[in-house]
Structure 1
Amino acid sequence: MKAVLSSVGALLISAAILLAGGGLMSTLIAVRAQIEGFPVEAIGFMTSAYFAGFIAGCFATPYLVKRVGHVRVFAALSSIIAAATLTHAIFVNVPIWILLRVLAGFSFAGLYMLIESWINEQAPNEKRGQVLSLYRMVDLGAVTAGQFMLTLSDPSNFVLFSLVAILICIAIFPISLSAAKAPIAVTQTSLNLRKLINTSPLAVAGAFAVGMANGAFWGVAPVFVQQLGHPIIMVSTFMSVTIFSGAILQWPAGYLSDKIGRRIVLILASIGAAGAGVFLWQFGPVSQSMLLIGAALYGVFAMQVFGMSAAHANDFAEPHEFVAISGGLLLIYGIGSVIGPSTAPFVMSQYGPSALFAYTACVHALLCIYAVMRVVIRRVPDQTGDYVSIPRPRALNLILRSDPRIMLKRKK
């Protein structure tokens, strides 16, 4: 472990600082927008704008890296985020915030892609599992810490925006001074969505459903907690419980899918996520205890769907198709994440804040029905690859480089 830390320690420090800043920023935007009286529809549209920028960033970053290199791109994107974050506190209006969220999504996509590819490149094949497990621990801890930073100051003033900018700027320092060799530039590949749908329509449906449901969750769940009348500390706790419960079930869900099949676990996860949505819809407003129980249930089930969908698609993919298929799934997820956060707020406006989870329950129920149909229509492949847990889809590069088939290919 000492050798592993010596090779990726500085990169993990940068990742932790970056993830903490990103975790704080996403929740802070929703909370501050609610305080400013922005319509919930506008708050949802800001999240859609973020994911639209994120999609663009995933495609643009490789070209930027090819032109000027990893470190310069990392510094440039970090400066954009820092400037955009501070601008939120200066110009408090919906149109400018939407534009700033596009810039933030674009920049965060590039930063996640750069730092995750760097970590994977430094990990020796025989230690890659340890490195990825360590990275996911850093991911979980940093994002959770970011949620609780929301309580350090009043969200209605500029202090927390300044804190995010400071964290993003500090994240440049370890990676800029690291002696680690820059990773190979991410290569581009053509995305054939028609072929992806033919290869695994269930995986496409799963990725889209995750975008529709979880995209809405990340965007307006803090508003849901606020509109129930809870203090800011409860917003942080609710989001953290969801993140943590989703992370700890990644490995058990993957192990189970290796034993009984991806589609069965995907169906069970969809049923559980729909049930958790109904629970939060009906009982979330009752008490803080019921709200946190619902958050844990939602995290346990809903956060498994994307990883299981990606694994199911990979089981049907040839090694040379994997990059295109994984890229297509990320694109489908992004499209869902643009649509979902703009749709859920209209449901909340009509039927109350807790209707957010009536919406997510409907999305997961429809996915479950479709998954059952696919079980009847199509048999599973004779051989399946090992499950690779994906707590939250962010950068395609991490998914690609951590896949066992890619590792085996590298060893050869």
Structure 2
Amino acid sequence: MGQLISGSWALLLGIMLLMVGNGVQGTLLGIRGQIEGFSTYEMSFVMSAYFVGFLGGSKMAPEMIRRVGHVRVFAALGSFISAVLVLYPTVANPWVWVLARILIGFCFSGVYVTAESWLNNSVTNENRGKALSLYMFVQIVGIIAAQALLVVGDPSGYVLFVIPSILVSISFAPILLSVSPTPAFGSAKPMKMRDLWGVSNLGFVGIFLLGGMFSAQFGMSAVFGTEAGLSITQISLFVSAFYVGALVCQIPIGWLSDRMDRRQLILVVSALAVVGATVGAVMSDSFVALLVAAAIIGGTSNPLYSLLLAHTNDHVGQEDMAATSGALVFVNGLGAISGPVVTGWLMTTFGASAYFYVMVFLMVIMCLYTAHRMTKREAISVEESGGYAPISPTSSPVAVEFAQEYSQMSGNEDEDTANER
């Protein structure tokens, strides 16, 4: 682990600072929107716009990198991110914010593609799993740290927008000044949606549902907090609880994933998410209950993403991994785009508690569909399945393919070990 950190510390530090900047702007806009008098439904479009841009960036960034190189793409997109972050308080108009969020989502997606390809190039087969775990840890820590920044300034002013802009600008220095070689970037033939459906029905449906689930957490949690009358400190703690739960639960769920039928585990974890969301909906007047609900939801939905990727990967050949990763990110993006808009409309119609009822609905569908698929397809034995690779729902196709490679590699190693015995 020490050798991995010494070789990738600049990249990991840069990614953490990027996540701080991204985490601040996501929560801060939810609070500032209410101050500016934006409606919940208007804010739902603002939050959804990020995922529109993110989806476009994941498609276009690889071609941009092939044309002009990693360094230029990284620097150019970073400059746009810094500029947009200080644009928000300057032009307080929801539709300008929508356009700004599309742009910043596109830029963050391109930056992630660039950074993750660099990380993938800097590791070996022996430390690939540790690199994935460390990468996800750095991402989540960055988002949690971002929530603490909300209490150091006035959300109605400019300082809280300037701080993430500075952090994002600084984040590129350790990466661009690093001596790490620029990785090669290949191209993969895209996979059609019907082909992904044929690979894994559950993976297709589950990843789509999780797109809506995660975008509600990432985009609408602060909007819910303002609608529920929480203070800025309480909103900060509420948003942080999602990611603390994700950080704590990845290891035990990953351990179970490699020792049982993954569909059974997906069913159980989805059911726990239903419980967490129900607690939030029924006991939304209690702040402690909201923290517990957020921790349970975050601690189940984030590992579910890795579980569904591992399950899908069990049915994918090595030659199709790159194409599958792009298709999975696309399906996840479609769910993420629709999530905030549907949630915002329901919150406008039925009140703030609808935020949790949307999650209840999504996870109930996940449970029912998982149970249905268990009756339609034989389970792959534990010995034949690949390993569990922790990965964030915000990752680009590069990181998803990175995780798939590790999953298949670790699965092959386990099989060889079993054969030796």
Match of 1:404 among 403, 406, 416: 406
Q: TM-score, normalised by structure 2?
A: 0.94
Alignment of 1:252-331 (within 5 A): 252-285=252-285, 287-331=286-330
Match of 2:123 in 1: 123
| One-letter amino acid matched to 1:404 | Y
Match of 1:345 in 2: 344
Superposed CA RMSD in Å reads: 1.7
- State the 1:134 CA deviation: 2.3
Match of 2:108 in 1: 108
- State the 1:251 CA deviation: 2.1
Secondary structure of residue in 2 paired with 1:187 = coil
Alignment of 1:71-150 (within 5 A): 71-150=71-150
Secondary structure of residue in 1 paired with 2:389 = coil
Secondary structure of residue in 2 paired with 1:377 = coil
**Distance across 2 between alignment mates of 1:28 and 1:45:** 15
Say if 2:388 is the partner of 1:387. Answer: yes
Any gaps of 5 or more consecutive residues in structure 2? 414-421
**Distance across 1 between alignment mates of 2:186 and 2:228:** 44
Say if 2:20 is the partner of 1:20. Answer: yes
Q: Is the 8 A contact 1:246 1:391 kept in 2?
A: no
Which deviates further from its counterpart, 336-345 or 6-15? 6-15
- State the 1:164 CA deviation: 1.4
Match of 2:182 in 1: 182
Alignment of 1:225-264 (within 5 A): 225-264=225-264
- State the 1:86 CA deviation: 1.1
Match of 2:200 in 1: 200
| One-letter amino acid matched to 2:34 | Q
**Distance across 2 between alignment mates of 1:408 and 1:211:** 27
**Distance across 2 between alignment mates of 1:407 and 1:61:** 27
Alignment of 1:42-81 (within 5 A): 42-81=42-81
**Distance across 1 between alignment mates of 2:350 and 2:410:** 51
- State the 1:186 CA deviation: 4.7
Number of aligned residues:
409
**Distance across 1 between alignment mates of 2:265 and 2:407:** 22
**Distance across 1 between alignment mates of 2:66 and 2:373:** 41
Match of 2:5 in 1: 5
- State the 1:406 CA deviation: 6.3
**Distance across 2 between alignment mates of 1:271 and 1:381:** 22
**Distance across 2 between alignment mates of 1:78 and 1:39:** 30
- State the 1:66 CA deviation: 1.1
**Distance across 2 between alignment mates of 1:327 and 1:299:** 24
Secondary structure of residue in 1 paired with 2:126 = helix
Q: Is the 8 A contact 1:48 1:341 kept in 2?
A: yes
**Distance across 2 between alignment mates of 1:380 and 1:280:** 34
**Distance across 2 between alignment mates of 1:188 and 1:316:** 19
Quickly say closer, same or farther: Cα 1:385–1:408, change in 2 above 3 A.
closer
- State the 1:381 CA deviation: 2.5
| One-letter amino acid matched to 2:292 | I
Q: Is the 8 A contact 1:250 1:391 kept in 2?
A: no
Secondary structure of residue in 2 paired with 1:126 = coil
Secondary structure of residue in 1 paired with 2:375 = helix
Q: Is the 8 A contact 1:347 1:356 kept in 2?
A: yes
Q: TM-score, normalised by structure 1?
A: 0.96
- State the 1:30 CA deviation: 1.4
Match of 1:360 in 2: 359
Secondary structure of residue in 1 paired with 2:391 = coil
Which deviates further from its counterpart, 3-12 or 232-241? 3-12
> Structure 1, residues 40-74: CA drift from partner, whole Å, max 9, x if none?
11111112111011011011111111111111111
**Distance across 2 between alignment mates of 1:229 and 1:268:** 33
Quickly say closer, same or farther: Cα 1:160–1:186, change in 2 above 3 A.
farther
**Distance across 2 between alignment mates of 1:139 and 1:28:** 18
Quickly say closer, same or farther: Cα 1:408–1:388, change in 2 above 3 A.
closer
Q: Is the 8 A contact 2:208 2:335 kept in 1?
A: yes
Q: Is the 8 A contact 1:330 1:396 kept in 2?
A: yes
Q: Is the 8 A contact 2:214 2:393 kept in 1?
A: no
| One-letter amino acid matched to 1:269 | V
Which deviates further from its counterpart, 248-257 or 98-107? 248-257
Any gaps of 5 or more consecutive residues in structure 1? none
| One-letter amino acid matched to 2:42 | A
- State the 1:110 CA deviation: 0.7
